[in-house]
Amino acid sequence: MMLYNRKGEKTAVMEYNDIYDADRNLTGRTHLRGTSWKRGEYGLVVCVWVHDGHGKLLLTQRAPEKSFPGTWENSGGAAKAGETSRQAIARELFEETGIRVEEDAFELLESGRDHNTHFDYYCICNDTPLEQIVLLPGETVDARWVTFQQVREMIAEKKICGIIARQFRRQEHMLLSRQGIHKEK
């Protein structure tokens, strides 16, 4: 796997993830990222909606070399072997935006599971100005604060991939309620 360090230099890294069972119990085994998962094996993926408390969400644009290139998303990614969910989301947010937040500051919105992945979805109130966002080469190329209506428009224009769009639709009411906002028309 090819990753980029903070200086934008390519670095080859073998990354491992913990393997969980269907009930989210650790198995004591690890999985090499980029290889196929076996039946009954599950990884852990974490995502976070960063909101400013005033009706805007922080989105980042995926680098051209990533899957779903150029689309916009919330921060997140796979937990590395040995990481808890909260450690993983704090690391992912920092790697993708330069925003450093204590692990216990993240609010868990919901958890889920699909065919090979357990998911934890978080939110956090943080109003870091765009000029202080530090993008990670090879991961993110842009960032912007957008309203909930702008997110809906971006989904309609296919500027946000289907996976993130479904996540937003499912969690929009939870995010709005944390800002004291009723769903916009």
Domain boundaries, the chain: 2-177
pLDDT given for residue 185 in this prediction: 44
| Alpha carbons 61 and 41: distance in angstroms, whole number | 30
pLDDT given for residue 178 in this prediction: 87
Confidence check: pLDDT of 2 > 70: no
Q: Which residues pair with 57 in a beta bridge?
A: 51, 146
User: What is the per-residue pLDDT across 129-184, written as a single tens digit (0 to 9) for each?
Assistant: 999 999 989 899 999 999 999 999 999 999 999 999 999 999 999 999 988 665 55
The answer as to CATH 3.40.50.620 being correct for domain 2-177 is no
Q: Is 135 helix (H, G, I), strand (E, B) or coil?
A: coil
pLDDT given for residue 11 in this prediction: 60
- Phi/psi region, residue 179 (left: phi>0; alpha: psi -120 to 50; beta: rest), is alpha
Torsion sign over Cα 8, 105, 69, 155: negative
